[in-house]
Structure 1
Amino acid sequence: MNSTPRTAAVQLRGPSGPIWARLYRPPPGEDLQPPLLVVLSDDSEPEELARRCEQLCLRGRLVVLTCPIPPIPETPTPDRPPADPPYDGTVAVPPYDVTVAVPPYDGAVAAARAVVGWAADHAGELEADPARLYLAGSGTAAAVAVEIARLAADEGWPDLTLYDLLEGTPR
């Protein structure tokens, strides 16, 4: 058995410009269209996330699309200063030469929504089953993944199963 997933860099259109994602596909096997797992990440530990995505891809026989989303600043406390560098709170809007202020959380949700929507629309092209779309979050992006799952249910998207990346249990 080949123990290395097939990987590729993927560029998606985001609300404020290009979003780069990483695609992991399992070696060819019995399941011609494995499920698609979208992992939203805060990009705080890229090497660890890459290792986890490879393992999810190989052990779970999943197509994995992982994508960093804009950082969500944590609320500073006396013992925890604000993170560096902070998100500047702007998003480009058509005609893309104008920027408007957007709260960091809303910007992260908009980017995540674009990624998950693109993944749902293009699952077949990614050699994944469009009817089996899973979502997970890593770091501060876990809260954004929960919000996207809620929005998907409220707006009548196809079924979206939310997974906790660390626990691997559906919600």
Structure 2
Amino acid sequence: MLPWLSKLSTERLIALSLIFTGGVNLLIFAFDINGASALKSMQTSSFFPSSKLIGTVWTLLIVILSYSFSSVSVKSPQIAKHILGLFFLCVLYPFYTLGFSSVMLMFIGNTLTVAYSFFLALLLFTKFKKEASFVCLITLWVMYVTILMIDLHRFG
């Protein structure tokens, strides 16, 4: 699958990733899924970003992740596989967290995403500094949302 993807232009990769992500978002919309954190935020005075803001941020992050894949795939296919892995880890989050309903699975997923994206940023840093900084944006966003989740659900 990777050789096929690495032959696509940056624009086509971005379009393909947006179609895939859009499909996931359509399922979320069709089933009217409100996550545990969003529901808890509505019941308390705690802040948690709206699903529209979260979706917008993730759309931008997926675009820059697709760009990073496009930049890296020909020169370093091994690192490109990790970018693809991070893409699926991020995009499939609604499924492995059971529609955002399991706070523990959300926390585990966020922790894995932070660790994997940080690891990937370190891999990228020596040859692909711009792409490493893009991947760091995912690390920072997921850390931010995780901190809000911890505050909202009062872990620890």
TM-score by length of structure 2 reads 0.28
Q: Which has the higher strand share?
A: 1
Q: RCO greater where, 1 or 2, for CA within 8 Å and sep 6 or more?
A: 2
